Structure 1
């Protein structure tokens, strides 16, 4: 599991920078959206005006909240699965290989 970056929550929106070996630092915004159905994402992930992912609200067995985030780009061989978890004043974005 690797770390892609740190984001700060302002109201209902998360903002920060993500960075990898082949890209970054890239500013991203995770903004809430109206759900069309129960399976639809709770958030969209944007880089500028481009949508680069989606996120769903989740809870641990202990009741702690976090987001499951999927990031994608035409340059990626496959989408990246991530977790955005609270980490003090910020939230850390962790990724794993599927």
Structure 2
């Protein structure tokens, strides 16, 4: 499984870098959506630089652990990427 980015959390916002074979490393942030228009709306928006490149939804495993499902979309991708967000000690890995 590939790692596309590593993040740290500060003041409720995850900041780090997203990088892949087709995309150079750029600063990225995953910011919470303060007011969701409905229950199906994303919990977070994903930005690379100033461009919005995805969204994320909060999920919980059967054992009660929290994680995010992240969808990334970029013109360089043939189709949107579906990613999982995992806690790896002091970092969060996409």
Q: Into which bin does the TM-score normalised by the smaller protein fall?
A: over 0.9
Separation in 1, partners of 2:36, 2:73: 20
1:96 aligned residue = none
What is the aligned residue count? 93
- 1:62 equivalent in structure 2: 63
Q: Secondary structure at the match of 1:20?
A: coil
What is the aligned-residue RMSD (CA, Å)? 1.0
Which structure has the higher relative contact order (CA within 8 Å, separation 6+)?
Answer: 1
- Deviation, 1:11, is 2.3
* 2:4 alignment counterpart: 4
Q: If each structure's strand is expressed as a fraction of its own residues, which one has the higher value?
A: 1
Q: TM-score, normalised by structure 2?
A: 0.93
Question: Which structure 1 segments of 5+ residues have no match?
Answer: 94-98
